[in-house]
Structure 1
């Protein structure tokens, strides 16, 4: 006999149903497997008037059993070149960092994960990150991308546009 979903699973189910009923411009989200509420697949449509315009950026959100007390992990499956995205696709933004004080002093506790965040607020934060003309290079996840932003912004933008074109081509394969 299957056990009843826990409170955190019910919360994820509610967020999923809300996104299905009221889709948000710029992304789609769904479960990788209908039997697992903790692993989501994401498609971010590159925002207009940004380097990512025309891109289809695949990602995943993996929720811990402690959600919403702890944040999910987000990882791009599409190859990305951005100071705040690790080489392996992991997304490094404040709201995905565990609650509490930042040991390095870069973030206020109020910028970090709070249980009020939803899949929608996470993805809108990531879209906002991608929409910035000049990415934040203060504490980069990808040091090489940050260095290129500082030293040769034209080459950085060219590399991002190439990856975005590639993502669009792969979406149609």
Structure 2
């Protein structure tokens, strides 16, 4: 029961004063464990002017187990899987690195920060990471193209 109280508190904080470029709501009013997040592409990134739907799922053991974050909107990024799952690789969300004191706001801010500064050495899409490292211009071109095509 403690987790629902904490989740509700964090949800209230996030809806009342959301981090820059991030809007949060419940995916379904009757389920506090599934959140719908709209993340705007940061100005300094090839995702600028795109709005991405991000799903955040909280385990019932939250905050002792990390949430999962995935992009429902297709995105060309080294740290997000290029399939329909859109799983995001975030170090802080790994079971061995997660701290119960971590807040969902910090998770979302970190995820948005990754749009500006991908971490190619922690990539789930090796090919995109290589391109990011070796041909930044082409990477940004494709990322912008995908943003135009897939992000609202």
Give yes or no for TM over 0.5: yes
Contact 1:56–1:167 (8 Å) recurs in 2:
no
What is the DSSP-based 3-state SS (H/G/I as helix, E as strand, rest coil) of the residue aligned with 2:108?
A: helix
Structure 1: how far apart are the matches of 2:24 and 2:16? 12
Query: Residue in 2 aligned with 1:131?
Result: 116
Structure 2: how far apart are the matches of 1:155 and 1:21? 39
Structure 2 residue aligned with 1:59, among 50, 54, 57?
A: 54
Structure 1: how far apart are the matches of 2:61 and 2:2? 10
Contact 2:89–2:122 (8 Å) recurs in 1:
no
Structure 2 residue aligned with 1:98, among 95, 98, 121?
A: 95
Structure 2: how far apart are the matches of 1:153 and 1:131? 13
Q: What does the per-residue CA deviation read over 1:127-154, in whole Å, with 9 as the maximum and x for residues that have no partner?
A: 111111xx32223211121122233222
1:49–1:140 distance in 2 versus 1, CA, 3 Å = closer
Confirm or deny that 1:32 pairs with 2:15.
no
Contact 2:22–2:38 (8 Å) recurs in 1:
yes
What is the DSSP-based 3-state SS (H/G/I as helix, E as strand, rest coil) of the residue aligned with 1:138?
A: helix
Structure 1 position 65, deviation (Å) = 1.0
Where structure 2 has 5 or more consecutive residues not aligned to the other structure, the ranges are none
Structure 2: how far apart are the matches of 1:23 and 1:141? 28
TM-score (norm 1): 0.82
| Structure number with bigger Rg | 1
Query: Residue in 1 aligned with 2:106?
Result: 121
Where structure 1 has 5 or more consecutive residues not aligned to the other structure, the ranges are 1-5, 100-111
1:131–1:40 distance in 2 versus 1, CA, 3 Å = same
TM-score (norm 2): 0.92
Aligned residues: 150
Please, what is the CA RMSD of the aligned residues?
1.3
Identify the structure with the greater strand proportion. Answer: 2
